[in-house]
Structures are given as C-alpha cells and as structure tokens.
Chain A
Amino acid sequence: MTGIDAAATDSDFASPAAVDALAEIAGRSRVRGSLRRALARPSAWIALGFLALVLACALFGHVIEPYPPNAIDVLNRNATPSSSHWLGTDDLGRDILSRIIAGAAIAVRVSVQSVGIAFVIAVPIGLVSAYVGGWVDNVVMRFVDAALSFPALVLALAVAGVLGPSLGHAAIAISITMLPGFVRLVRGSALAVKHETYVEASRSIGVSTRGILLRRILPNIRSPLIIAGSLALGGALLAEAGLSFLGLSVQPPEASWGSMLRHAYDVSLFTFPWQLLIPGAAIALTILAINTVGDGLRDAFSPADTSGRRRRGGGTRTKHRRGLTTVATPVPETTTPAVAGTTALLEVNGLTVQFEGPSGPVTVVDDVSFSVDAHEVLGLVGESGSGKTVTSLAIMRLLDSPPARIVGGSVRFGQRDLLRADFKEMRRLRGGSMAMVFQDPMSSLNPAFTVQDQLAEAYRLHRHVDRRAARTRALEMLDLVQMPAAAQRLTDYPHELSGGMRQRVMLAMALICEPELLIADEPTTALDVTVQAQILDLLRTLQRELGLAIMFVTHDLGVVADLCDRVAVMYAGQLVEQASVHDLFTSPRHPYTEGLLRAVPQASEAREDALYVIDGVVPTAATMPTGCRFHPRCEYAVDACIDDAVVLRETDSGVSRCIRTDELTFGRLR
C-alpha cells in the first residue's frame, strides 16, 4: 500500500484513468494476495470442501436424494442406519439422509437471502452516513444504537412471530437483526478510507459522489465486508435453525435442520436419541466450516495479526522461558580479544544475537565487544537498525525468545556471566544492581497503575520493607529526579503526566534500588527538545551524585559529547569503532563515525549549505553487502573493501573496523 500511496501522491492526478488504475491496484492486489494466504491452510480447504458439498445438496438435492424427503414409510419406522437408509429413518419412516439433503436447501436459501437483504439495505445507508456525515450520520447511528440494544434472537422471534411463521418471514426477521451491525461496519470502514489519497484525488478531479462511493470507497472496503458477510452466513443459519426449532420458520412436513431437530426432540428424546444427533451435527458442522473460512479470510486480510499462527522456535526444540532471552548452549568461544582490562563493571565480549526469521535465523548483533567501567558513562551510538537497542536488551536478557536467541559471547557483570545466569539470578539483578530506562516512557509505564504503585513495587521487589517505607522511598526518589509537586504525583496515573514527568518516573523507578549500572536506551528521543535537555542535565547530575555507571544508547552524537566518557559506534550489527569521547570527536578512525560527526548540526554553522547526510540506509539481513558492511555508503571504499569481511583492528586511540584506518585521515570538517 505504501508504494501505491506514494505513487498517488507523486503523480499530479493528471487523468481520471490514472486515478482509477491506482484505486484498482490498491483494491485488487490486496484481495488476490489475501485469498492465496487464506487458502494456505488445509483446514480452510476442508471447510471449503464441506461448504461445497452443502451447496451441491442445496442445488441438486432432488437428484441426489435417495428417497422423497417427505415420503412416509410406516413399515420402516425408526430404522437404524443401513445400506438402504444410510442415516436411518425417523418415527414416520422418512429417510433421514434425504431430509438432511432437503434441509441443506433451506439452510443455504435462508442464509444467503437474509445476508443478501441485510447487505442491500445496509451498504447504501452506511456509505451515505459515512460520506455525508453531520446530522444524517448522527441520526443513522442513533437508530443503529437503538437496534443493537435488542438481543438478536428476541428481535428475530418477535418479528417472525408477528409476521406469522414461514420461511420468507424468518429470512426477513433475521436480516432485520443483522442490519444495524452491517450499517455500523460499512460506515466504520468507509470512514477509514474516506480520506485516503485515491478518494481525495477522485474528488479533486470531479468524480461524482455516486462514482466515489461506488467505484472508490466500496471496492476498498470489500475485505471487511466479505469477512463479516461470510461469518454472518453462519449466524443466519444458526438463527433460522433456532426459529425452525421453535416452529416459527418452515412448517411441517417440509424438512429443515432446525425443525428436524425439534421433531426428533419431541418424539424420540427418550426412545431414539441418536436421531437428534444428525440434524444438530449438520447445523454445527456447517457453522464450523463457515467460521473456519471466515476466520481464514480475516487472518489473511490482516497479515499483521499472525500471533497465533506463528510456528514459534523454527526447527529447534529449545525450551524458552518467558521474560528471559534464551542463550544457545554451549556458548561458543569468540575470537575477538577482550578490549578492556578486568576492572570493568560490565564486560561484553563477542555478543552475538540472532532472530528467528521466516527463512532461517538472522544475525542482528554480530560479535560485539565493549566494556563499561564503574562510574563511567559509555555512549553506544548508531543509526536505527544498527543493533544498539538489541545489544542493550540482550545484556539484560530482555529480548523475547522466540524470536531472539543469544548464540555467542559473554556478558560479565561484576563477577557473574549474565549469559549463564538463570531466571532467578537475573530477577535479582534486574532493577537491583542493574537497571534500565526505555525510549518511550508512555508505553513503558503500566497505564493501569499509579506512579506510587509502580515505584513502590520496584523497591519492594528487592528490599524487604513494608508499604509505608516503600511509599516514603518512592517520594524520596521523585524528589531526587526533581519531579515538580512530587507528593501529588504519587497518586497520578501515567496518562496524567507530561512526557518529561513520565521519563522522570522511569528514572526514579530504575534508580530506586541504587543500581551500579544504568542502561539508558534512547531515554530522550521521544521527548521535546527542551525536555530532552532537562532530562540529560538530570542524568548528568545523578551520575555524579550517585557514582553511577551508565550505558547510554543513542543516535545523537551531540548528546554523547555532552554526557559520555567513551563511545562505541555500531553499524549493521557490528561494532565499528571505539574510543574516548575526545579522540573520537577530534580524530575519528572509521568513515561511518566521520559521517555521523558531519551530520551533527553545529551552532557555528550559519552557512546556508545543507546538513551532511550519509547516503543510503543501514542494510538489512536481506541486503547485507559482502566485505565491509559500510562499503556501499562509504566515500573512501576501494576494491579491497568489497571482498573480505573486515575485522576490528587496534588503533592508537581504540579500535576500528576499517582496512584503511591507518592510511586515511578523517576529519569532522568538510
């Protein structure tokens, strides 16, 4: 869709034909692909096959039926299934199979009829209501609300009863009950596409309202309508069977599944109970088949929702634990030499993380090594997709498994290797001596609990104190993070706070148990510029006051210069350079670092030339180049860069993953 949207925006809407074509493509490609997906599962085929059988019975019943469905045979009453009567006979000796086949015609007719009637009425009302809006929409929706407050079966019973029992009246009654739901669906779907580019474009070139409704909007809301319509067929069948069961639809002796069930219930409940099984099963199986096809269509039309279908874990039979990233055992030794000395608080060595993809595992963090000393601030820098967030989550083992898996390396924190720790040990460390703050404080705070609940919980998970002590501590922390009117904030919910306040709460929560290490994953990215500065100031103050070590993940080198002692730069899942802040800023040793530095806006740059941009984007697993991963975007690339993977090499200031690092002089100036 995005491609089509873009195309529609780029073209000048020159001809109606062009707009037509765009709208067509938008609708059609979606439907075709979806049908293919819907039929990918065998259950959908079986269900479709069964429905085809029901349809065949309905259309050619009089040919297939072994006996006339209403023919009474008193000599053959209540016969058990046999070669002459496959499903036996009822109390009047009527062949049950023939009656089931005859009932299929009723089931199909009434379902199609009632859904059809409901659609024919609901589609125009819903479309007009959505398109015209205003009071028309208001009035329509009030009627819909009113109608929806009737229990459907009660309404159907009342209407069918008042009109008088017959199949046609049953169909009318059922379609009346379906009408309000359909109107609401059509209106809702139409509202959603009303402002799409192709609709606006059609309007701007003067297509009539009727044309827009019928040829632009209707084709593009067909998927929800197809789904709802197919599921409604099942509902209609169920309702008709219910009405026949109560004697308000077809009249005896005509056979419908509901009336057969009723008849068997009345005369054979205590004597031949198996006669009840067949009509009931016919109804249930048909509805099951309709639901299966309908669910298949729904899943296919919304590919995003695949949660249930995903075959997790691929071919591996690894046992995963919720809340703890799985580590492949045994963790292979890595080739990269340890970068820092043994005094480091956190030492990441050769960390490699894979994600289970549709076509096998994809390595997203590849052999990454760095360390953070006590009281030190390390910046982990890179563009989106460089693997820096995955690295930080992997250290805390917070990546979901599946799909994530740590397949190599070690993460030493203090005396422990976190990759060998079990869940209990990680629980003690998390929020205790190592804590984390995340990028988006709104979605990272639980919307259903107050600030106090969430802060006190973090404290009480690690300290054995009572509620009151935890509350006091929570307030203390809010003061520490300079929360305005801290005492009143305690009983607030996250949605009542501003973005900056929420991030202060996140910080307070992370620091409440006085951790040694704070991992901050882009903590200011989602905030306004002025609030960003305040939070950074706060972090700097807290770091000094509490003697914290911080691993600061960011894409913003300007922030790094402000806050960090050392910097590690990541690109496409690999570490490409590591150095002290001073060295990195004055003499970067990797072309990517140089590019990042040149992309930082300068206060002194009053010139009119545009800000430097590194051409291209971070490659994905599918587009990963050979040789140096940065070479397609590198202005210094030579033939040798394309051939072999590049290893980290020592430089005078740190490490760099560039074969030309010694011969080139990078500068931050243009």
Chain B
Amino acid sequence: MGALLLRRLVSLMPLLLLVSFGVYLLVALVPGDASVTLAGGESATPERIAAVKSQLHLDDPLVEQYGRWLGDAVQGDLGSSLFTHVPVTDDIADRVPITVGLVLASLVVGLVLGIPIGVLSALRPGRAVDGAARVGTSVALAIPNYWLAIELVVLFAVTWKLLPPSGYVKITEDPVEWLRHIALPAVALGVWSAASLARQLRASLIDALDSRYVRTAWAKGSSTKRVVLKHAMKNAAIPVVTVLGLQVGFLLGGTVIIEQIFSIPGLGPYFIRGVTALDVPVIQGVAIVFVLFTVVLSLLVDISYGLLDPRVRVE
C-alpha cells in the first residue's frame, strides 16, 4: 500500500506542474496592459502601476515569471495580496479549516440522506419508494445550491428564526454554535450530493443484487440482510466511492458561493474578493489550493478502491 501511494504521488508531479502553469497563465488573460489593469485601470497612479509591475515581475518573460512563482510556491510563498499586502499563504491557512469543515459537514448530510434513499429504492425498484426517490433526486439535482441556500435562510432564519441567517463561530470556540451556523450551508450543499449519491448507489446496488455472487449467497442460505448489506453492498460501494471523490470537487466549488451567502470566512469570499478586484496573487493562490485538494482527494479515492476492491490492490 505504501509503495502504491508513493508511486501515485510521483505520477502526480507532471500533472501538478501542468496545472500550476495553467493557474499562472491566468495573468496572461488579463486584458490590456496587465500592470495598468491590475493597478486599477486608467486612473491608477504611475507609482501604483510601477509597484504592481515590480511585485509581479511583469517585465520578465512569462516563463521566467512562472519559474519564480513556482519556486516560491513550492516553499509555501504564494506572494502577497496586491491590496492588503498580507501574504496569501497566511490568509489561506486561516481559511482552509473553515472551508474543509463545511465540505465535510455537507458530505455527512449527503451520506446520511443519500445512502438510505439509495438502498431503499434499490430494494424496491419500480415501486412507490423508488418512484418518489426518483422524482425527489431529480428535483434536488436541478435546484441551484445558492437558491436553496437562500430559501433555507428565508424559512429557517427569517420566518421561523430557528437558526442564524449568516455568520460563523469556530468549532474550537463553541461546537454547538458552530453546528447551528454550519447547518443551513451544509444542507444547501449536501442535498445535491445526497441526490447524486442515492442515484449512484441505487444503480450499483441493483447491479450487485442481480449478480451471480449474490445468487451464490442466497444459495448458501444467507439472510436478506446479509445478502444486501454484506455481499452486495461491499461491491456496490466501489462506484459510489468514485462519485464521492468527484463530489468533493463539486462541493469545494459550491462552497465559494455558499460561503459568500452565509458570510462564512472561508476560501470562498476571499476568492470572490480576489476575482472581483483582480487581485492576481490571491486568485492564483486559491486556485492552486483548490486544485491540490482535488488531486489529493482523487488520490484518497484511489486508495479506498484498494481497501474495497482486492483486485486493485494487487495491480
């Protein structure tokens, strides 16, 4: 397992190099004279333009700029914000735990809702439960999470006043308050993930229940519970884990808007502020962190394959 992990990590290096170059290239997309645009447009003072130019080394060739940026990034230096001059790495380090907490909480919502729905509809395909699940998941997959978030605020915070409409409390300060603040955003993000999990689980569980090894399990004299939860489930879990891995990527993207709506001080609002202000080091820094997350996650998914599917472990 250790060797597998190492090999996978090494094979990720070229990918990360390519991605980081892509991230860096965002500077090249800036319209007009980058230093002028980034300094705030035509009204920018010549001193400001010069400062931006020297901070980003915009006079150097692109490859050289990238090389310097990458060298610094590897050492944990993603540059400083063009406006606040706070090191991007510091800002990100403060915000990562908050965003990760939200993603995990949404995943929990997704699993807690998605697994029972998936199992129930797989056990009664074509019946009422399955039909209801089908309609429910279709609707859940069509609702934009930011709209759901707003409607949840309208109901739970504005109308019923059960939960706070926005804001954030650190879990280390007050776990209960953290939960109260994270509940609505986690549900807003997690409902979608529950729907897609339920669908995937339904499909793969139906396949597994149709399989010959399940027939063997019946032929041995297994109980229904044993057949479904042991024999079928372990095999059905494999494609579900793939979906789970992909989902975390989507959830990470989703946190950007959701954190903005709920004023959660995670990476989302920081990124949006960076994007609207064209604060290039911030945009690059957050983008590369998001990519790192996705890559590490797909690695975790690969590892869990090995735990679930012995065929992968050997290869």
Contact A161:B154 (CB < 8 A) given known A457-B220, A462-B221, A509-B220? no
Q: Say how far B271's CB is from chain A's closest CB, in angstroms.
A: 7
Q: Are B14 and A448 in contact (CB under 8 A)?
A: no
Q: Which residues of B contact A506 (CB under 8 A)?
A: 216
CA distance A435 to B202 in the complex (A): 30
Contacting B275 at CB < 8 Å: which of A158, A269, A307?
A158
CA distance A431 to B218 in the complex (A): 9
From 146 to 190 in chain A, residues with beta carbon under 8 angstroms from any chain B beta carbon are 146-147, 149-155, 157-164
Q: Considering the complex, give the chain A residue whose CB is closest to the CB of B272.
A: A246
Q: Are B221 and A495 in contact (CB under 8 A)?
A: no
Q: Are A161 and B221 in contact (CB under 8 A)?
A: no
Q: Are A308 and B126 in contact (CB under 8 A)?
A: yes
A396 contacts B by Cβ under 8 Å: yes
A302 contacts B by Cβ under 8 Å: no
Q: Are B278 and A162 in contact (CB under 8 A)?
A: yes
Q: Are B221 and A291 in contact (CB under 8 A)?
A: no
Binds A, one of B46-54, B61-69, B138-146, B169-177: B138-146
Q: Considering the complex, give the chain A residue whose CB is closest to the CB of B27.
A: A162
CA distance A322 to B231 in the complex (A): 14
Binds A, one of B88-96, B178-186, B306-314: B306-314
Q: Say how far A38's CB is from chain B's closest CB, in angstroms.
A: 16
Contact A446:B218 (CB < 8 A) given known A265-B150, A276-B151? no
Q: Considering the complex, give the chain A residue whose CB is closest to the CB of B30.
A: A162
CA distance A159 to B153 in the complex (A): 30
B147 contacts A by Cβ under 8 Å: yes
Q: Which residues of B contact A146 (CB under 8 A)?
A: 15, 18-19, 22
Contacting B294 at CB < 8 Å: which of A151, A246, A423, A432?
A151
Against A, the Cβ 8 Å flags (1 = close, 0 = not) of B224-242 are 1001100100110000000
Q: Which residues of B contact A150 (CB under 8 A)?
A: 19, 22, 287, 290-291, 294
A284 contacts B by Cβ under 8 Å: yes
Contacting A280 at CB < 8 Å: which of B144, B203, B224, B257?
B144
From 123 to 166 in chain B, residues with beta carbon under 8 angstroms from any chain A beta carbon are 123, 125-127, 130, 134, 138-139, 141-144, 146-147, 150-151, 153-154, 158-159
Q: For the A-B complex with A142-B15, A287-B142 known, give 14 more contacts whose Cβ atoms are closer than 8 Å.
A: A145-B15, A149-B294, A157-B256, A157-B275, A159-B29, A238-B144, A280-B144, A284-B147, A287-B143, A398-B215, A430-B218, A430-B219, A446-B213, A461-B220
Q: Are A446 and B126 in contact (CB under 8 A)?
A: no
Using a CB–CB distance below 8 Å, which chain B residues touch chain A? 14-15, 18-19, 22, 26-27, 29-31, 123, 125-127, 130, 134, 138-139, 141-144, 146-147, 150-151, 153-154, 158-159, 202-203, 206, 209-213, 215-224, 227-228, 231, 234-235, 249-250, 252-254, 256-257, 260-261, 271-272, 274-276, 278, 280, 283, 286-287, 290-291, 294-295, 298, 308-311, 314
CA distance A24 to B98 in the complex (A): 56
Q: Say how far B253's CB is from chain A's closest CB, in angstroms.
A: 4
Across the A-B interface, give the 6 residue pairs with the lowest CB-CB distance, nearest first. A161-B275, A153-B253, A280-B147, A151-B253, A288-B142, A431-B221
Q: Which residues of A contact B27 (CB under 8 A)?
A: 162
CA distance A261 to B143 in the complex (A): 13
Q: Are B139 and A398 in contact (CB under 8 A)?
A: no
Q: Are B278 and A161 in contact (CB under 8 A)?
A: yes
CA distance A483 to B104 in the complex (A): 47
Q: Which residues of A contact B29 (CB under 8 A)?
A: 159, 162-163
Using a CB–CB distance below 8 Å, which chain A residues touch chain B? 142-143, 145-147, 149-155, 157-164, 234, 238, 241-242, 245-248, 261, 265, 269-270, 273, 276-277, 280, 283-285, 287-288, 291-292, 295, 307-312, 322-323, 396, 398, 400, 423, 426-432, 435-436, 438, 440, 443-450, 457-458, 461-462, 493, 495-496, 506, 509
Q: Are A310 and B314 in contact (CB under 8 A)?
A: no
Q: Are A446 and B216 in contact (CB under 8 A)?
A: yes
Q: Are B213 and A444 in contact (CB under 8 A)?
A: yes
Q: Are B216 and A308 in contact (CB under 8 A)?
A: no
Q: Are A161 and B276 in contact (CB under 8 A)?
A: yes
11 residue pairs of the A-B complex, CB under 8 angstroms, read A142-B18, A150-B294, A157-B256, A157-B275, A162-B278, A242-B257, A323-B224, A398-B218, A427-B221, A458-B220, A493-B311
CA distance A280 to B188 in the complex (A): 14
Q: Which residues of A contact B223 (CB under 8 A)?
A: 427
Contact A157:B218 (CB < 8 A) given known A145-B15, A151-B290, A291-B141? no
Q: Which residues of B contact A462 (CB under 8 A)?
A: 221
Q: Say how far B82's CB is from chain A's closest CB, in angstroms.
A: 13
Contacting B291 at CB < 8 Å: which of A149, A248, A450, A509?
A149
Q: Which residues of A contact B212 (CB under 8 A)?
A: 438, 440, 443-444
Q: Considering the complex, give the chain B residue whose CB is closest to the CB of A277.
A: B151
